[in-house]
Amino acid sequence: MRSKSHIAVIGAGAFGGWTALHLLRRSARVTLIDAWGPGNSRSSSGGETRIIRGTYGPSQPYSKMAARALQLWNEYEQQWGHRLLHRNGVLWMVTSDDDQFERSSLPMLREAGIAYEELSRAEVGRRWPQINVEDVRWAIHEPQSGFLKARVACQMVTKGFIAEGGEYRNTAVLTGELESIKPGLGLKLSDGSKLAADQYVFACGPWLGKLFPETIGNRILPTRQDVFFFGTPPGDDRFSASKLPVWADHRHRFIYGIPAADGCEFKIADDTRGPEFDPTLGERTVSEEGFKRLRDYMAYRFPAMKGAPLVETRVCQYENTADNHLMIDRHPAAGNVWLVGGGSGHGFKHGPVVGEIVAELVMERKDAEPMFRLERFRPASA
Ligand SMILES: Cc1cc2nc3c(=O)[nH]c(=O)nc-3n(C[C@H](O)[C@H](O)[C@H](O)COP(=O)(O)OP(=O)(O)OC[C@H]3O[C@@H](n4cnc5c(N)ncnc54)[C@H](O)[C@@H]3O)c2cc1C
């Protein structure tokens, strides 16, 4: 009898965890390892929540991926008996004169089969009087989209993976020499052991550039992103997920928020890329300037939240590629090494779909889609 193919997946975040689970379901033997655990506070998948939406602009694969992801999140949360997806809707407010992004999102949503409605300013104001709509021209509302539990989802995926026979180890791959992995020699781990597999999937988020300095380097650039949680008035549910959708305002800056739910308060963040950030050693203290800007914005957009106290903060990092597209490809010098990352501030929702895609590529030895490959970063003349 042929022995099962052994795949090592390094990184148990949104991309690695789901990849490991899907590989297992394709009958591989899978070892998943993580330096600090699934959804840890340093990882890009850490923290409480992430948005899932299909509004993505023109000519992109992400609306369809989000549609498939909504289906998979739904299936898996039912299987695990743990709610991970909150479908309280996503409201995308158009406040700029230029609504090309939103207009061109509509056919993509239609094609993907994601439910949406176009709302006038008056309708937005009527449905959600807690929003100041004076500068809102129109809006896209995706009633079946919403938000996901982030850290908990990563933990559930790893738990599901172990329950289905996967091996999980809390250890780190040592950096250095990874650019020249020799099949059979294995990876050196921080616990002193070695891990040899037939194929390796590195899904190390913002750490990928340091692990593969020549192949990736600053093609994945981690940037600091501040997240603020403001306290809602006592007993007032106007700013909770039962009364307010996830919202986004795509004007000079892309500001977004998730209403209070499950003991987590009113979340608000600015998608503008922050300064470069070291995911291992960076101190996670938010900037005073970011705090003031978002508190002022909140007072304008949600007048009843004016003066609300800041109750929690988080510093996370995006792992950005130059074009904000994902990176899924083989290492150019080692056909059995896969590099998966580049979520660029929007990757979490796609985790189950990225897992499906990567598992198929690895098990069927296929090539990745050109738009996700590394070669797109090389100069045309190279
Ligand atoms: C503030 C913020 C808001 C976001 N909002 C959204 C959103 O609303 N919707 C959305 O879809 N996406 C969002 N994203 C993006 C999304 O969260 C990320 O793209 C996604 O979580 C990346 O997952 P990953 O698995 O690639 O990386 P990670 O989650 O960082 O996972 C990498 C893992 O690798 C491990 N690791 C690293 N080095 C080693 C090593 N040497 N050995 C072993 N293990 C190692 C780490 O411990 C980590 O667990 C947001 C991100 C941030 C920071």
Closest C-alpha residue for ligand 1 atom 24: 205
Q: At what angle are helices 151-163 and 14-25 packed, to 10 degrees?
A: 20
This prediction's pTM: 0.97
Mutation probe of ligand 1 site: the residue of 22, 50, 148, 277 with most atoms within 8 A of C-beta: 50
Residue percentage of the chain with pLDDT more than 70? 98
Please, are residues 147 and 89 in contact by the beta-carbon 8 Å criterion? Answer: no
Pocket of ligand 1 (CB under 6 A): 10-16, 33-36, 40, 43-45, 50-51, 172-173, 203-207, 225, 227, 269, 316-318, 341, 343, 345-349
Q: How far is CA 206 from CA 22, 294, 327, in A?
A: 22, 25, 12
CB 152 within 8 A of CB 128: no
Among protein residues, the one whose CA lies closest to atom 26 of ligand 1:
205
Distance 344 CA to ligand 1 centre (A): 9
Give the Cα separation of 141 and 322 in Å (integer): 29
Residue with the nearest Cα to atom 31 of ligand 1?
A: 13
Alpha carbon separation from 292 to 239, 282, 299, 310 (Å, rounded): 20, 22, 11, 11
pLDDT category at 252 given cuts 50, 70, 90 is: confident
pLDDT score at 7: 98
Q: What is the pLDDT of residues 88-126, one digit of tens each?
A: 999 999 998 899 999 999 999 999 999 999 999 999 999
Among 17-26, 183-192, 239-248, which is the least confidently predicted range? Answer: 183-192
Mean pLDDT of the chain: 95
Contact 9, 31 (CB under 8 A): yes
Pocket residue to mutate for ligand 1, from 223, 348, 353, 372, most atoms within 8 A of Cβ:
348
Residue 350: which of 122, 148, 133 has the closest Cα? 148
Show Cβ contacts of residue 92 under 8 Å, excluding neighbours closer than 6 positions. Answer: 53, 55, 102, 105, 139, 140, 141, 142, 247, 248, 250
Which atom of ligand 1 sits closest to the CA of residue 316?
53
Q: Distance from the CA of 172 to the center of ligand 1, in angstroms?
A: 16
Residue 236: predicted pLDDT: 95
Q: Which atom of ligand 1 is nearest to the CA of 154?
A: 29
What pLDDT is recorded for position 49? 98
Q: Which atom of ligand 1 is closest in space to residue 349's alpha carbon?
A: 11
Atom of ligand 1 nearest to the CA of 51: 8
Report yes or no: 363 and 5 within 8 Å, Cβ to Cβ: yes
